[in-house]
Amino acid sequence: MKLSIIQNRKNSSGFQFNCLNWTGVTLIGFLCSLVWIEIGEVPDLNPFQAMIGATIIGCFQALVLSRFLTHPWLWILSSIMAWTLMGGSSFGLIGWFAPRTNLIMVRLTTGLILGSVTGIWVGFWQWFILKPVLSKSYLWILFSGISWSLSLSIGWIIGGILRSATHLFLGEVIGLIIVWLLVGIQTGIVLSYLLQQSGYKNLGK
């Protein structure tokens, strides 16, 4: 099934992609997923919860991508596949669970490693949808890995500090909110750049 950017979408004066839109829908999607997914540790989460979370976030992101993708539902499907498979693996549902340790260095190194794996894995599945649309789509996989690596380590560190300071698990929830906020900002910047390189001159206007 061939995806394409339709010329009249490029020139339309309606809602356009920008980092704020992308960050907003990504963060809102994560917050909505918490209605069905209770943040915990690796054994507490399962592939079904991964499917729910991916569906919700994918749907919100597809609202933005529908301006550029002829079949935005494929983005939702790719997100479901990526997160469900990861949720059923030994890695667990990254982005919805907190580490068991409060040691900063452990959270930093683990976040960098698991974050890069998560970003590359999810980015790879999403790349199949973006490849026919973006001229430099391979950069999406690379920067998705970098984005998740930095975001997960920072969010886990902040979550650990807040949990130690308050003795409340709510600190971990705030840390994960920061993770998704940073992921939204960074991937939004990358996606905006790639769309501009592919012929969109009026982004964010």
- Tens-digit pLDDT profile for residues 41-77: 665 678 899 999 999 999 999 999 988 888 999 999 9
11-15, 28-32, 95-99, 145-149: least confident range: 11-15
Burial class (CB in 10 A: 0-12, 13-18, 19+), 112: middle
Taking 90 as the threshold, does the pLDDT of residue 174 lie above it? Answer: yes
Quote the pLDDT of residue 92. 84
Identify the band that residue 38 occupies on the pLDDT scale cut at 50, 70 and 90: confident
Q: 36-45, 109-118, 132-141: which has the highest mean pLDDT? A: 109-118
Question: In whole angstroms, what is the distance from residue 83 CA to residue 47 CA?
Answer: 8
Count CB-CB contacts under 10 A for residue 132. Answer: 14
Asked if residue 61 lies in contact with residue 22, where contact means CB atoms within 8 angstroms, the answer is yes
- Roughly what angle, to the nearest 10 degrees, separates helices 47-65 and 73-87? 160
pLDDT of residue 196: 86
Distance separating alpha carbons of residues 182 and 59, to the nearest angstrom: 19
State mean pLDDT over 145-152.
Answer: 98
Q: What are phi and psi of 40, to 5 degrees?
A: -150, -140
Q: Does residue 15 have a pLDDT over 60?
A: no
How confident is the model at residue 169, as a pLDDT? 92
Question: 3-state DSSP: the chain helix, strand, coil percent, rounded to 5?
Answer: 70, 0, 30
Residue 83 is predicted with a pLDDT of 95
What's the CA gap between 99 and 157, in Å, rounded? Answer: 10
pLDDT score at 189: 95
Query: What is d(CA 155, CA 30) in angstroms, rounded to the nearest whole number?
Result: 14
pLDDT score, position 91: 85
Return the higher-pLDDT residue of 15 and 198. Answer: 198
User: Under a CB-based contact definition with an 8 Å cutoff, are residues 52 and 68 in contact?
Assistant: no
Of 133, 130, 132, nearest in space to 143 by CA:
130
